[in-house]
Structure 1
Amino acid sequence: MAELRATGVQVSFHNCNAASKQTRAELVPVLAELAGPEGVRVLLHSLAFGSLLPFLPQEGQEDVITPRQMDMTVDVMGHSLVYWVRDLYVAGLLPRGAKVFALTSRGDGRVMPSYGAVSAAKSALASHVRQLAVELAPSGVSVNALRAGLTLTPALLRIPGSEGLAQYATDSNPHGRLTVPEDVAEAVVMLSATDSSWMTGNVIDVDGGEGLV
């Protein structure tokens, strides 16, 4: 926080449940006060909280995902995007030229051990991006998903076999390395540099070509 403030920008952190209706009700007025008349120019939705359990019993792993865990995973990682965008829109905080980004992963189209519920959430997220893009187009607000390459995050390390996934991604990436948070941040900055909403409803790969090979 101190490092950010040293650049001369205003910083406000809130440690709370971002998927909670109550949190949105409490924070939207705060965001309105912080943003002022310009509104929220960039909304980055990045929630990584879900159950990593198989659908069926496995050898040595009898636990399977429950309906409650399945619903929670898809709601937190997928549906919450809709609710945040809607609350900000209703509050008049998404001005023309605003950008909405949802972070997704290549798991939206691949099968990995115990990743089924998260994969479903990522697929729902892509669908929500398309729908929101169409509904917000008349307002001049773009909505896109950023599909980052494999990045060493705390969420990744929770996935069974993550070390093997990281090694495979490193070896196969044309750049010879994994994606880092700075790569994604640069994409957000680049895509937010214009008020145009013409690029919208897409899943944009930010992976250094990882998905090409």
Structure 2
Amino acid sequence: MLSSVKGSWCLILGASSGMGRATALAMAREGAHVCGVYFGTAAQQEEADALAEEVRALGVQASFHNVNAAKADARAEVTAHLAELTGPQGVRVVLHSLAFGSLLPFIPTEGQPDVITPRQMDMTVDVMGHSLVYWVRDLYTAGLLGRGAKVFALTSRGDGRVMPSYGAVSAAKSALASHVRQLAVELAPSGIAVNALRAGLTMTPALIRIPGSDALAQRARESNPHGRITTPEDVAEAVVMFSASDSSWITGNVIDVDGGEGLV
């Protein structure tokens, strides 16, 4: 059954830039209030403040938190604040868009002696993968995820491909897909849908950090049937589209949002 996100609340983890930022604006344009979580420097704080003002200018509420989303105390703080903001209606949409991890190789080579450490590996998989479980569980047990709620995790084609220095992130994305399946089954009786959106190559701040990202973008642009790469707005549009339904029947999937990039 189609419905509307107008007047509902969405929680965006990783809201200050890239796909998180685009989704915040897209949901606000549809009349949804936005709670954004990000972890940033003074410059990123300014970007988040400007985004919050853009969201409010669209006639909805905005509540942004500069905290480490991978920390239990930060989850507890934001969850308690959300309970106050949303009241009994809870949160309609959760977007997990955390992109913070190590981009170091597993094996040293000539010219690149530095390799990923156990601490960096654990941090990458925890932030970009395991934290999805902890956030969804805390929101659910707090009564903030009700029937019709939607949870989206962002993954990439790197979940099944090898790229230089991407090993830890690839492991995190693979864990994320597994967590999506498990959460989808466990939350199905409550009418909550959980899916991963696998975006095509998108020029986000996270991608730019990957060695050789310009060449990756050029290859994706040349091979994509649409003749361009994916934009953050493409992904945001998909979130809005899938959120405009009370149905939980589409759940547990990795859904490509790539313009056919993965087909060629």
TM bucket (normalised to shorter chain) is: over 0.9
TM-score, structure 2 normalization? 0.80
Aligned to 1:50, the other structure's residue is in SS state: coil
Aligned to 1:26, the other structure's residue is in SS state: helix
Give 1:184's aligned residue: 235
Aligned to 2:66, the other structure's residue is in SS state: coil
Question: Quick one: distance in 2 between partners of 1:65 and 1:196?
Answer: 42
Q: Is 1:163 the counterpart of 2:250 in the alignment?
A: no
Give 1:29's aligned residue: 80
Give 1:69's aligned residue: 120
Seq. identity, %: 83
Q: Is 1:173 the counterpart of 2:224 in the alignment?
A: yes
**Which residue, out of 135, 149, 160, partners 2:186?**
135
Give 2:22's aligned residue: none
Q: Is 1:93 the counterpart of 2:144 in the alignment?
A: yes
More strand by share: 2
Within 5 Å, which residues of 2 pair with 1:1-213?
1-213=52-264
Deviating 4+ runs (over 2 angstroms): none
TM-score, structure 1 normalization? 0.99
Query: Amino acid of the residue matched to residue 18 of structure 1?
Result: A
Q: Per-residue CA shift, 1:140-171, capped at 9, x if unaligned?
A: 00000000111111110100000100000100
Shift of 1:103: 0.3
Larger mean CA deviation between 35-44 and 135-144 belongs to 35-44
Q: Per-residue CA shift, 1:28-65, capped at 9, x if unaligned?
A: 01011112211110000010000000000012100010
Q: Per-residue CA shift, 1:45-90, capped at 9, x if unaligned?
A: 0100000000000121000101110000000000000000000011
Note the residue ranges of structure 2 that are not aligned, 5 or more in a row. Answer: 1-51
Question: Quick one: distance in 2 between partners of 1:3 and 1:65?
Answer: 39
User: What's the RMSD between the two structures over aligned residues?
Assistant: 0.6
Question: Quick one: distance in 1 between partners of 2:185 and 2:211?
Answer: 37
Aligned to 1:79, the other structure's residue is in SS state: helix
